Amino acid sequence: MPRLTSIALITVLAVLMVFTVHPVSADSKKILAAIDEAGASCRGVSQKIWDFKEPGQQELKSAELLKEELAKLGYKVTGDLKVPEDLVKDGISKTGFKAEMAGKGAGPTVYLMLEYDALANGHSCGHNLIATSGLLAATGLAKVMKETPGRVVVIGTPDEERGSMGGGKVALLEGGHFDGADVVFITHPNDRWSLDQRFLAMKRATFTFKGKSSHAAASPHKGVNALRGVLLTFNCVDSLREHLRQDVRIHGIVTKGGAVVNVVPELAQAEFACRALDTATMENAYAKIVNCAKAAELGTGATLEFKEPRVALKATITDPALLETVQANLKTLGIAGNQLKNFDELASSDLGMVSYNYPTVNLWFKIAPEGTALHSDAMREAANTDDAWKSTLIAGKAVALSAYDMLTNPAKLKAVQDGFKEAKAKEGK
Of the candidate spans 121-129, 231-239, 316-324, 384-392, the one that interacts with Zn ion by CB under 5 A turns out to be 121-129
Closest to Zn ion by CB, 125 vs 315, is 125
- Closest to Zn ion by CB, 206 vs 372, is 372
Residue number with CB closer to Zn ion (13 or 343): 343
Q: Which is nearer to Zn ion, 59 or 427 (CB)?
A: 59
270: closest CA among 286, 259, 257, 261?
Answer: 257
Rank residues 65 and 125 by Cβ distance to Zn ion and give the closer one.
Answer: 125
Q: Does 125 bind Zn ion (CB under 5 A)?
A: yes
Write out the DSSP string of 227-280: HHHHHHHHHHHHHHGGGS-TT-EEEEEEEE--S-TTB--SEEEEEEEEEESSHH
In the complex, what is the shortest distance from the CB of residue 228 to Zn ion, in angstroms, rounded to a whole number? 39
Distance set, CA 254 to CA 54, 230, 234 (Å): 29, 8, 9
- Amino acid occupying residue 9: L
By the 8 A CB rule, do 203 and 271 touch? no
From the list 122-130, 259-267, 277-285, 364-372, the region that binds Zn ion by CB under 5 A is: 122-130
Which one-letter amino acid corresponds to residue 196? D
Per the CB < 8 A criterion, the answer to whether 64 and 177 are in contact is no
Query: Residue 58 Cβ, how far from Zn ion at the closest point, in Å?
Result: 16
Strand partners, 114: 156
Minimum CB distance to Zn ion, residue 344 (Å) = 17
Which residues on adjacent β-strands are paired with residue 207? 270
Closest CB to Zn ion among residues 300, 362: 362
Q: Toward Zn ion, which CB reaches closer, 308 or 370?
A: 370
Q: Strand pairing partners for 185?
A: 112, 361
If the CB atoms of residues 92 and 423 are measured against Zn ion, the closer one turns out to be 92
Per the CB < 8 A criterion, the answer to whether 80 and 423 are in contact is no
Quickly count helices (H) and strands (E) in the chain.
Answer: 13, 10
Q: State the binding string over 224-243 for Zn ion (x if CB under 5 A, else -).
A: --------------------
Distance CA 202, CA 352 (A): 10
Q: How far is the CB of 127 from Zn ion (least distance, A)?
A: 6
Name the minimum Å distance from CB 133 to Zn ion.
13
Position of minimal CB gap to Zn ion: 125
- Closest approach, Cβ 13 to Zn ion, in A, equals 46
Q: Which is nearer to Zn ion, 114 or 125 (CB)?
A: 125
Q: How far is the CB of 355 from Zn ion (least distance, A)?
A: 15
Quote the CA–CA distance of 116 and 61 in Å, as a whole number: 10
Closest to Zn ion by CB, 125 vs 264, is: 125
Q: At residue 329, what is the residue type?
A: N
Among the listed residues 81, 98, 113, the one whose alpha carbon sits nearest the alpha carbon of residue 184: 113
Nearer to Zn ion, 190 or 417 (CB): 190
Nearest distance in Å: CB 125, Zn ion: 3
Q: Are 262 and 293 in contact (CB under 8 A)?
A: no
Instruction: Kindly indicate which of the ranges 118-126, 141-149, 243-251, 331-339 contains the residues binding Zn ion, using the contact rule CB under 5 A.
Output: 118-126
In angstroms, what is the minimal distance from the CB of 387 to Zn ion? 19
Q: Least distance to Zn ion from the beta carbon of 188, Å? A: 6
Burial class of residue 127 in the structure, from the number of CB atoms within 10 Å of its CB (0-12 exposed, 13-18 middle, 19+ buried): buried
Q: Which stretch binds Zn ion (CB under 5 A): 123-131, 223-231, 311-319, 325-333?
A: 123-131
Of the candidate spans 49-57, 120-128, 189-197, 325-333, the one that interacts with Zn ion by CB under 5 A turns out to be 120-128
The partner residues of 254 in beta bridges, in order of sequence, read: 270
CB of 423 to Zn ion, least distance (A): 23
# binding residues, Zn ion (CB under 5 A): 1
428: Cβ contacts below 8 Å, ≥ 6 apart: 278, 279, 280, 281
Half-sphere exposure of residue 16: CA atoms within 13 angstroms, side-chain side: 6
Please count the residues of the chain: 429
Residues that bind Zn ion (CB under 5 A): 125
